[in-house]
Amino acid sequence: MSSAKQFLFIVLTFALHGIANGQSCAGLGSQDFSDIIYVSVTGSSAAQGTTDDPTDLLTAIGMLGGNSDKIYMQSGTYVLSNALNMPSDAQIIGGFNTDWVKDNTGITTIFRDPNNSQTGPPRLIAIQCIGQSNFRLQDLTIRTSGALGQGVTTYGLYLNNCADYNIVRCDIIAGNGGHGNPGGCWSTRPDRC
Domain that holds residue 23: 1-30
Phi-psi region of 184 (alpha: psi -120 to 50; beta: other; left: phi over 0): beta
| Pair (78, 165) in one structural domain | yes
Residues 6 and 80 reside in one and the same domain: no
On whether both 67 and 154 belong to a single domain, the answer is yes
Pairing outcome for strands 163-168 and 133-138: parallel
Q: End-to-end alpha-carbon separation of the chain, Å?
A: 88
Say how many domains are in the chain.
2
* Per-residue pLDDT tens digits of the chain, which is 193 residues long: 554 444 333 333 333 333 333 333 333 333 444 689 999 999 999 999 999 999 999 999 999 987 679 999 999 999 999 999 999 999 999 999 999 999 989 999 999 999 999 988 899 999 999 999 999 999 999 999 999 888 899 999 999 999 999 999 999 999 999 887 666 655 566 665 5
Give the span between the Cα atoms of 26 and 33, in whole angstroms: 9
Q: Is residue 171 part of a domain?
A: yes
Q: Are residues 44 and 109 in the same domain?
A: yes
Residue 76 shares a structural domain with residue 7: no
17/112 same-domain check: no
Look at residue 58 and tell me if it is in a domain. yes
Count of beta carbons in the 10 Å neighbourhood of residue 15 = 13
Same domain, 6 and 79: no
